[in-house]
Copies of this chain bind each other. A is one copy, B any other.
Amino acid sequence: MSESGPPGGVTSERSTIREVARRAGVAIKTVSRVMNGEPYVSEATTSRVMEAVRALDYRPHPGASDLRRATRKHRTIGLMIGAFGNPFSTELQRAVEQVATEQGAMVLTASLDRDAERERQTITAMLARRTEALLITTPTRSHDYLREEQEHGMAVVFVDGAAIGVSADAVLSDNRRGAATAARHLLERGHRRIAFLGARSDVHSPQQRRLGFLEELARHGIHQPAKHLIEDLDEESAIRAVADLFASADPPTAIFSAQNLVTVGAIKGLRRAGQLARTALVGFDDVPLFDLLEPAVTVVRQNPREIGLVAARRAFERLNGDSTPPRTVLLPVQLIQRGSGEIGPPDD
């Protein structure tokens, strides 16, 4: 019967509106009025009710009220992030939480850094808690199941990714242009052999970064050799990939790493290969302390905070009735020159 109590103590049951009403000598409707701050309750009655509320430590059961209520009072939105470890996700989460707080809502967060099965379970669990909106990053490609939810009124916003097979809002960086900017930066310094180190090739944002990079090279008449185009890397495999590059016949003079943790791996790989000081490196997406490394790391900085703010606001607009066609918002990125990207090619 009883749930667990305070350690070593006794659990008193939560009191109900009925008990408060009885103690105050009024109808439950009157208690309801007081709790909801409705007008037309006499001061005397109000204070009698409040006294009973205090005496019984009464707290309304939100599930029960939302059950009958037409519009929900206790809003919860869900945030599904790709990987917890990434500083991008952290900033994103903070921004989403801020907007939710402003809207009187709370955030259920879950990471997807496991498998697709896990993604499915998590979404089911969120739906089971009546999550009203879903901000979703780097999910599996099949979003079909999300459509059903949308049709039932759930607001779905894709963050750092495109909506594939679903008509939904999306908020992400201008990945293509950012990657092109990085490529141009290296080309302008005279680099011609620029390795591309990419993250997941099955995900939209990394794909766009590859595209932007290759397009810019092509504009300069460069056809990227396959051995300098490496994808599906994480931090660990990036270390090995860089080692392999510099053990090969024709090593690059510059590297564009298209994801922040891949950049960390690239730095470690360059260092181990003894190439850190003489190989140019531009990374996509910043990481704290990149500015303190030697050389400091030049990056195309995106704005995860802004992405989170825009995406969360969009979700609440949808919840508040906005039914305009879905929009994709591309946020600008910025090249931050810190040193690593300004290393020139060897003189030979």
Chain A interfacial positions (CB closer than 8 Å to B): 1-14, 57, 59-64, 66-67, 70-71, 74, 76, 84-85, 90-91, 93-94, 97, 101, 104, 106-111, 118, 122, 125-130, 132, 147-148, 150-153, 155-156, 167-169, 264, 267-268, 271, 287-290, 292-294, 318-326
Contacts and interface: CB of A to CB of B under 8 A. Distances in A.
- Max chain B C-beta neighbours (<10 A), residue from A60, A147, A153: A153
Contacts of A104: 125
Given A7-B167, A104-B125, A287-B289, 5 more contacts: A10-B151, A14-B153, A59-B127, A101-B122, A106-B129
A167 B91 CA distance: 34
A97 B74 contact: no
A167 B74 CA distance: 30
Contacts of A1: 70
Contact of A129 (B5, B76, B93, B155): B76
Contacts of A325: 7-8
Given A5-B323, A7-B167, A11-B153, A106 B84 contact: no
A4 B321 contact: yes
Contacts of A150: 5-6, 9
The 5 closest A-B pairs by CB, nearest first: A6-B150, A63-B63, A84-B94, A289-B289, A7-B326
A268 B267 CA distance: 21
Given A8-B323, A11-B152, A90-B90, A289 B318 contact: no
A292 to B, nearest CB: 6
Nearest to A267: B292
A59 B271 CA distance: 54
Contact of A90 (B7, B66, B85, B271): B85
Nearest to A86: B90
Contact of A62 (B2, B118, B129): B129
Contacts of A319: 3-4
A106 B126 contact: yes
A327 B127 CA distance: 35
Given A293-B289, A319-B4, A97 B109 contact: yes
Contacts of A97: 84, 109-111
20 contacts: A4-B318, A4-B319, A6-B167, A7-B168, A7-B323, A8-B324, A8-B325, A8-B326, A9-B167, A9-B323, A57-B152, A84-B97, A90-B90, A93-B109, A101-B110, A101-B118, A264-B292, A271-B292, A289-B289, A289-B292
Contacts of A70: 1
A59 B104 CA distance: 26
Contact of A288 (B7, B101, B289): B289
Contacts of A153: 2-6, 11, 14
Contacts of A318: 4, 7
A62 B126 CA distance: 11
Contacts of A130: 61-63
A106 B125 contact: yes
A6 B57 CA distance: 41
Given A5-B323, A148-B57, A153-B11, A128 B287 contact: no
A302 to B, nearest CB: 17
